[in-house]
Structure 1
């Protein structure tokens, strides 16, 4: 049985993603992304399911910063349609609501109903945690923005369903494991995640990335981040479409290594079907 760690409480979007990926597995809720990664590193969990991007809010977790130092590898990705319900204690009505609680990203993704209601907001550590807090308060003046599963789990009434601003709101999750488990080169759509550090020479980044352009390799993401407080060269987190064993990808990676002081592949995994539908 696979044990999947995630940040958040039961009923959260991360819990929903973990259950969809490992329906027969065991869930291990964690208070932070770092704790979820540590659970895998220390053997308390087999995998961690971590949100990295949201179509409305952008970056969710700093996986590009956390992952290289964790020693873990990306073995899968999953796209989850995000739905939020406004929920309150049993018997509560919208007219009674004065304060709405949720995670900061959820509040940002439900601005329309918050403006409509004119309610004040409180930031919680987690969407499902906000639902639990409302249930514990037992006060009809308090409501939560949380995934639909949280209402049933914490015994709340749905005051208004599907209140997210964007009906196409989607979060991308990655599955992290201690073992590399790179997907074989089978001709199926594949993603490769890596990070690199360029040499401290003029135009190093331009030259390092030139191989992807000349080889026709699509970069779906590139992010930079600084390590330490000094003037160290930036590190870059990159995701590309393709497998390292493909000739065009191998050529691009060869050129990248020539202009980089360090290149590390963090994962080679099947592309989720959502990419083809986008």
Structure 2
């Protein structure tokens, strides 16, 4: 049985995503994203499942770890996010004064929080907030978390689906140490890579020309400063296509001429969810 590591505690959305990705896997929580990536590096046969971005609130903030560890990306998975207000078994919505959750969950439920005059408290994760509320046994305190968190920690669902916008999705990446890429067939693929440009004027503009010439679509291009630097940046990029496609190969060869560092993170099938969004 494969192991899947995720950041957070049992009941977290990462836990839900991990079980949906492989219901037979042994799912193991990690306290931090750093620990999660370290486990994926030291245990080559394992997988890690990490949130990369949210449809509403944007990037989660794991880019520096992707750059540091350079684990292979095997797949993407879009998890539907449905937030719920969870309280102690003896509580009622009118009892709640304080609400605890991850910063992004609080932001995604801001309308409900304001409407009910709740005091926000930021915590490391949603499920951990549910676990804390369960242990405090104070009916004035509630957590914003998943239905699984309510079941896991014996809490009462005071209000379902309190997020501002329905159809909220978080994109998760399935990553690991061993390199694998699917055979090039008649499927929709994504090639993910990172690069750092040589220091010269107009380097980014010149480096991207090959994608336009070869008709390759870039779906993601984001820059991040290197550690302890504000004048040296690396880029994370996704493109539509398989790395064995001639157009993609020519584009990446052109890009490589302008790079000081280049690394392919993975080639994987595009999620069917992309066409439904």
Deviation at 1:130, TM superposition (A): 0.7
The residue number in structure 2 matching 1:19 is 19
Is the 8 Å Cα contact of residues 45 and 178 (structure 2) preserved in structure 1?
A: no
Written as runs of structure 1 = structure 2, the 5 A alignment for 1:90-239 is: 90-230=89-229, 233-239=232-238
C-alpha separation in 2, matches of 1:26 and 1:144: 27
The residue number in structure 1 matching 2:53 is 53
Q: State the TM-score, normalized to the length of structure 1.
A: 0.96
Deviation at 1:233, TM superposition (A): 3.7
Deviation at 1:110, TM superposition (A): 0.2
The answer for unaligned runs of 5 or more in structure 2 is none
What's the Cα RMSD here?
Answer: 1.3
C-alpha separation in 2, matches of 1:197 and 1:269: 22
Deviation at 1:230, TM superposition (A): 4.9
C-alpha separation in 2, matches of 1:187 and 1:195: 25
The residue number in structure 2 matching 1:88 is 87
SS in 2 for 1:164: coil
Q: Is residue 243 of structure 1 aligned with residue 273 of structure 2?
A: no
C-alpha separation in 2, matches of 1:72 and 1:38: 10
The answer for unaligned runs of 5 or more in structure 1 is none
SS in 2 for 1:83: coil
The change in CA–CA distance for 1:94 and 1:267 in structure 2 (over 3 A counts) is same
Q: Is residue 37 of structure 1 aligned with residue 37 of structure 2?
A: yes
The change in CA–CA distance for 1:230 and 1:113 in structure 2 (over 3 A counts) is closer
Count of residue pairs brought into register by the alignment = 277
The residue number in structure 2 matching 1:253 is 252
C-alpha separation in 2, matches of 1:45 and 1:10: 22
Give the ranges of 4+ consecutive aligned residues of structure 1 lying more than 3 Å apart after TM superposition.
228-233
SS in 2 for 1:168: coil
The residue number in structure 2 matching 1:70 is 69
The change in CA–CA distance for 1:45 and 1:153 in structure 2 (over 3 A counts) is farther
C-alpha separation in 1, matches of 2:24 and 2:30: 19
SS in 1 for 2:191: strand
